[in-house]
Chain A
Amino acid sequence: MLKKKKIAVVLALLAAALIFAVPVCIKYSRGSKAYETSGYAMGTYILQTVYGENGREASDKASEKIHNLENEISWRINSSEIAKLNKQAGKGSTAVDKETCSILETSLDVAEKSDGAFDPTILPVSSLWGFGGGKPHLPDENKIKSAVGLVGYAKLEIGADGRSASLASVGSGVDLGGIGKGAACDTAVAEYKKIGAKAGIVAAGGSIGVYGTKPDGSAWNIAVRDPDSTDDKSSAMGEINISSGFVSTSGPYEQYFVSNGKTYHHLLNPKTGYPENNDIISVTVTAENGALSDALSTACFVLGREKGSRLLEKYGAGGVFIDKAKKVYVTDNLKEKFKISEDGYKLAD
């Protein structure tokens, strides 16, 4: 009799321990030790979460490398390779390092395949509008017309040695703002790998790069910002689950201004010199390379859904296009990884 009672007590204790332990274990596995840092580079805010004992080292090194990259590819920094390239426009070639050259090559490739919807030589136009650091304003119409004439990716040439570049016309200029944030994600992920971090995620503006497997083993869950929320603009309209790679989003909702009742955003069409106003309000692209995902998201925004989808096919990249009617178009290769989480959005047939 006494023995049976003891067994009952032991079983009760075991059951109680299980009931208590399971949710607590789940909670603490989700909140495994992570090193979080933030900083500024590439004209944006960089947020890193790195897991593992050497998370801090990996994160610090990634920040340093991103700053080094910015010092070479930002046209705003006088001593950068891109600033020197721009100063030499129409005069001859400039030496560039391997990393800068690789970003220029990716830029040119996307420019060619998108028929100029993404164009790294957009500086004459983009500098007029003042987005990304200056005071955004509506430029004079004639100035825009003149500036558009100076834009054209065919003017940019990379030396056969892969260590030099040149611009054919005086007044032309390279602005890597449409690819730099993604390139920063490439740099960070490369450092996580090199240093041997367990896992990590870096967010630079609208671009994200992930590396390794999270401590709980689940896929990285990336929120796609709701482009049209009014009360809580930071909310997500959907989520993408990826185990590796890069994600970039382009939308007109973040950088814009209103002039004479009209809204002007920062996603400029290189051929018109004005913000692109088609029926797209957000494009998210996934790719195996951050520079590529960033450039493609810009190109796809300008191209629109049909042409944009065809461009993504050329790279085997995935895409989520949202139009003004809140219809969501997802490329076939992303359908199983993406889901809508906000009422009001509907998947298109």
Chain B
Amino acid sequence: MFRKKDLLIIIPFLVAAGILALWFGAKPSYGIAVVEKDGKEVCRFDLSKQKTSRIIDIGGSMNIKLLLEPGAISFYRSDCPDQTCVRTGRLTKPGQAAVCLPGKVSVRVISDGNSVRKYDGYTG
């Protein structure tokens, strides 16, 4: 039969396992933003690691600027006539994407391996 003394052996293992599980399995993460211009990747940002906000100048024919924030990225400005990219708003989850069609610049968020993709796709 188990004695109280045995618990002293079991509990540290369980606590250690719990901590490891939390560290590897439930670490909060927002994913990685992949920025593409004319279909080719120009840069990527780990949204989980952003501590401050800054403007990323992508340039191009539509003079595009992105706003990189802790856990989010968005089109900050574009000279395109329809402004669909700017209106798309902040991308915060794997699976989301925003695109400036006239400027041929896209931003999509992919999983970084730690982040859970809640949605497989977005309609609308």
Contact = CB atoms under 8 A, between A and B. Distances in A.
Interface of A: 4-5, 8-9, 11-13, 15-20, 22-24, 26-27, 30-31, 36, 38-40, 43-45, 47, 49, 131, 133-136, 201, 203, 206-208, 210, 214, 220-225, 227, 229, 231-236, 239-240, 247-249, 251, 253-255, 257, 282, 284
B96 A234 contact: yes
A208 B123 contact: yes
B21 A222 contact: no
Contacts of A4: 1-2, 6
B90 A232 contact: yes
Interface of B: 1-2, 6, 9-10, 13-14, 16-18, 20-22, 24-26, 36, 39, 81-82, 84, 87-92, 95-99, 101-102, 104, 106, 108, 110-111, 113-114, 116-124
B17 A236 contact: no
Contact of B26 (A18, A23, A44, A201): A23
A136 B10 contact: no
A247 B6 contact: no
Given A38-B36, A239-B119, A257-B82, A225 B124 contact: yes
A71 to B, nearest CB: 17
A281 to B, nearest CB: 10
Nearest to A282: B124
A255 B26 contact: no
Contacts of B18: 19
Nearest to B39: A39
A206 B89 contact: no
Given A36-B110, A201-B120, A26 B89 contact: no
A5 B3 CA distance: 10
Contact of B21 (A22, A239, A254, A255): A22
Contacts of B13: 12-13, 15-16
Contact of B14 (A15, A47, A235): A15
A5 B14 contact: no
Among A15, A19, A234, the one with the most B-chain Cβ atoms within 10 Å of its Cβ is A234
A249 B124 contact: yes
Nearest to A22: B21
A45 B120 contact: no
Contacts of B84: 254-255
A205 B113 CA distance: 26
Given A30-B116, A36-B108, A236-B122, 11 more contacts: A8-B2, A17-B17, A27-B25, A39-B39, A47-B121, A134-B81, A222-B121, A223-B95, A234-B92, A234-B122, A248-B123
A201 B95 CA distance: 11
Contacts of A5: 6, 9
Nearest to B1: A4
A313 B111 CA distance: 38
A40 B26 CA distance: 35
A31 B25 CA distance: 12
Contacts of B9: 5, 8-9, 12
Contacts of A23: 21-22, 24-26
Contact of A232 (B36, B92, B104): B92
B33 to A, nearest CB: 12
30 contacts: A8-B9, A15-B10, A15-B13, A16-B17, A17-B17, A19-B21, A20-B20, A20-B24, A23-B26, A24-B25, A27-B114, A31-B111, A36-B108, A38-B97, A40-B104, A131-B82, A210-B121, A221-B119, A223-B122, A224-B123, A225-B124, A227-B124, A229-B89, A232-B90, A234-B122, A239-B119, A247-B123, A254-B87, A254-B124, A284-B124
B6 A222 contact: no
